[in-house]
Amino acid sequence: MYTLLQAIYEFRLAVDDLGGDLPDPPSGYSYFWESDDSSAKWKNEELTRFFNWSRNEISIRLGTEDATTTAIKTIAATSGTRNYALDSRILTVSDVYWEYTRLTKSSRRQEDVDEDWRTTENTPERYVEDDIPGSICLVPVPAADGTISLRVTRMPLAQIAWTDRTDDLTDPDDHLFLALIEGMKSRAYRKKDTQTYNEQEFMKADTEFAMLVGPPISAAQRAARKYNANLMMRVRPVKYY
């Protein structure tokens, strides 16, 4: 586990931004810059934003798997209702279960061969993600109440505030702590300020970050990941010359 405060300290240590020769921190604080960041190049609130950016980007690039967080993975289903909204933090759906039975991923195009697929009620056997954006559609429509369980990749469960700086964090895992710091550095050195902007250091940190968690993911790549998740067969792009 680690904390936001620990991450900001490691960042400040790495970029030599501890605030210079300062007195001991006031009672209740671990560092002087924690109570007064006026002598630091980067302020605590903006470093908190860089920290959250880094966490979000790691989740997008690597995909944080989750099959245990109830608020994310469990949906109460109602008889006669086919569409269920997904939590906005979900990136991709890897598996869908009706009670304890795994459902097969389908598509609206496949289901359209039966003109009654949106109204036929029975025990769900399949699910569709492209019926209504941001939701899953059960096929057949549930004839009885039940529980939908998901296995997903997601964004961090919550954005961290400076006031939460001493809370223990585990998302992302500890082995990605160095990547968190490199991501923060890549944002910090892009700040358009004579004291902070450094193109060479930005490129160095950005390269290190990409080496640890992979390159940036485009909107098209994110859409492809969502579409390909849980398919029995995946299509590999082919280059044409």
Per-residue pLDDT reduced to its tens digit, 187-231: 999 988 888 999 999 999 999 999 999 999 998 888 888 877 876
Establish if 237 belongs to a structural domain. no
Q: Are residues 177 and 113 in the same domain?
A: no
Residue 58: CB partners within 8 Å, gap ≥ 6? 64, 172, 176, 179, 180, 183, 213
- pLDDT confidence band for 232 (50 / 70 / 90): low
Q: Are residues 94 and 35 in the same domain?
A: no
Question: How high does pLDDT run on average in the chain?
Answer: 91
| Whether the predicted pLDDT of 235 surpasses 60 | no
Residue 229: CB partners within 8 Å, gap ≥ 6? 92, 93, 94, 105, 153
Phi, psi at 142, each rounded to 5°: -55, 130
Domain boundary among the residues 154, 179, 208 is at 154
Q: Are residues 163 and 58 in the same domain?
A: yes
CB half-sphere exposure, 225, CA atoms < 13 A: 17
Range of the domain at 78: 70-154
Establish if 238 belongs to a structural domain. no
- Report field, pTM of the whole predicted structure over 0.95: no
Establish if 236 belongs to a structural domain. no
How confident is the model over 139-184, as pLDDT tens digits? 999 999 999 999 999 999 999 999 999 999 998 899 999 999 999 9
Establish if 39 belongs to a structural domain. yes
Region of 19 on the Ramachandran plot (φ > 0 left; ψ -120 to 50 alpha; else beta):
left
Query: What was the pLDDT predicted at 231?
Result: 64
Domain boundary among the residues 120, 154, 188 is at 154
Q: How far is CA 221 from the centre of its chain?
A: 15
How many domains would you assign to the chain?
2
* CA neighbor of 106 nearest in space, from 117, 119, 122, 120: 117
For residue 50, CA distances in Å to 21, 36, 55, 80, 202 come to: 25, 19, 9, 45, 13
Q: Are residues 94 and 57 in the same domain?
A: no
